[in-house]
Structure 1
């Protein structure tokens, strides 16, 4: 399957036949490809694209945060970089830059990880809003797939938050074991990190769409492209609002979980405090009669031992009644 890291670096080339993306053979002529997808490109592949007039940015250049390094036009080519969530070769989830290089002849993408839309789009390109008849439509179709994937991630995060918060707010959650609350806190933390990556992806895609809107004036088909771009911008903005809403839910879930943990700790401390208070008077009495003074008449009396035990019991009972009267236990 394209995009999986079985033997990086890799290059995938696609052409269009009957409004469908067709994978080209590995020895095919790249000049005939409409989409070239490079995964961790090697020096030889970068030179090969350079001979075709496409100068590919390095990973260090792609990671620059300045807009001038992520959105620019050079030698008739439009360079646009987004930061997208995906997986690396070992299965680690990361957010890394993906660069789109767009010209009138083809779309070139450069990436160093595996976002899922790059795996699914080749088989679904013809079902995108504008199809994939030319590089611009192909580019917008790929962005549409990416936006849909980010929406799916947010939807999944929302379901996890629903399940987690339901477990936190249910009756008896404060008395549940610490492992359960810790698991809930870890789950919320993972979803918060995932949503932060999605939020960053949406922000960079919105910038790409704004840049692309400004540069399509010279496209012969700009009148048909512009409504699709506006629709994608609205989708991105709606997802950003939804991501902010989920972020507020994350804050509520974290605060609630920490509050439950504090309640649980307070209950434990209260129990220990009650036990210490109940045993304090008997301990005091035992300490007094444990002092080896010469003149302690009770020690010589036959009722002295029973008297001490009775005194300990009475003071313990008195302490317990006092705590109950104060509603501390």
Structure 2
């Protein structure tokens, strides 16, 4: 589905144009066309492939989807795949994709499986004609910057979730199974974000250092800024994963401590019952030559002895923290 098709020249918008007129504008000096598609049909992609001379392998990647984030060069054209991350009200992270084809005189963005739009990116570019005059390279920067900036609120939300999980661990406000499931769910979310960030680190570094692609010339500092954002996000994810791993170990340790405390209590109560049971068992043997059997004070003294011994054991366990 065609969302936008706009022609720009020397940093200024010329007009919204029909896709059938693209070839007329891309031939003009200093002019480039920015086309945006969402969940396009095979026919639409084939039309764009012929219009811009896109590489078949790149078009195939967009058609199939489910690609890792990457940046590939095909002659003087760049093909960029980015993950679009959205967190819904239930806290689930949904993953969409955008494939961006960038040439000297065109930008084609193909968005799939995502409700995120780039209208604000287009508005930003049009508000900055002094940068938009750099052409398709600046549009690619603006798109990448907008996508990566959306990762930051997700990371902040995951930080808050981690703090809440840590609070529950030490307050005992959740069951063991629930806390473990919550922590592993959080770990999975962090991995999803990391899989969207890590592949881009090396790829983006090629856009500002070494042999820079032609469409990115004069914009190296902007792409270096994107790399810095990615690096900060990656370090934050690594830190959160380390904290989460520690939290999981602490939770397991607290489970072991709780089980140990229960075992101690059970052992203490078993000892309290064992002493009178042992004494009663001795006098329950009914041997004829047991001297205490005929003694008038034997029964009350035996009960008194049971009570004294149990009280002594109870006091000892109490002081030791077993009861």
TM-score by length of 2: 0.73
Is the Cα–Cα contact under 8 Å of residues 62 and 98 in structure 1 kept in the other structure? no
Q: 1:87 to 1:328 in 2, by over 3 A?
A: closer
Out of 257, 263, 266, the position equivalent to 2:257 is 263
Out of 201, 214, 218, the position equivalent to 1:218 is 214
Of 266-275 and 317-326, deviating more is: 317-326
Q: Which residue of 2 aligns with 1:12?
A: 3
- Give the deviation of 1:144 after TM superposition: 0.6
Deviation by residue 1:151-184 (Cα, 9 ceiling, x = unmatched): 2222222233334434545xxx3xx3552x6555
Count how many residue pairs are aligned between Structure 1 and Structure 2: 302
Q: 1:21 to 1:36 in 2, by over 3 A?
A: farther
- Give the deviation of 1:305 after TM superposition: 4.7
The answer as to 2:246 corresponding to 1:252 is yes
CA RMSD, aligned part only? Answer: 4.0
Point out where structure 2 has 5 or more consecutive residues left out of the alignment.
Answer: 23-32
Secondary structure class of the residue paired with 2:104: coil
Of 298-307 and 93-102, deviating more is: 298-307
Secondary structure class of the residue paired with 2:105: coil
Q: Which residue of 2 aligns with 1:318?
A: 312
Is the Cα–Cα contact under 8 Å of residues 8 and 15 in structure 2 kept in the other structure? no
Larger Rg: 2
Secondary structure class of the residue paired with 2:108: strand
Q: Which residue of 2 aligns with 1:148?
A: 149
Out of 57, 61, 66, the position equivalent to 2:60 is 57
- Where does 1:177-196 land on structure 2 (aligned, <5 Å)? 177-179=173-175, 183-196=178-191
Out of 120, 123, 140, the position equivalent to 1:123 is 120
Rounded to whole Å, the distance in 2 between the matches of 1:23 and 1:162 is 50
Out of 226, 232, 236, the position equivalent to 2:226 is 232
Q: Which residue of 2 aligns with 1:45?
A: 44
Deviation by residue 1:184-204 (Cα, 9 ceiling, x = unmatched): 544443333222222222222
Secondary structure class of the residue paired with 1:212: coil
Q: Which residue of 2 aligns with 1:29?
A: 19
Point out where structure 1 has 5 or more consecutive residues left out of the alignment.
Answer: 1-9
Is the Cα–Cα contact under 8 Å of residues 121 and 143 in structure 2 kept in the other structure? no
- Give the deviation of 1:147 after TM superposition: 1.8
Is the Cα–Cα contact under 8 Å of residues 86 and 93 in structure 1 kept in the other structure? yes
Secondary structure class of the residue paired with 1:57: helix
- Give the deviation of 1:307 after TM superposition: 4.6
Q: Which residue of 2 aligns with 1:6?
A: none
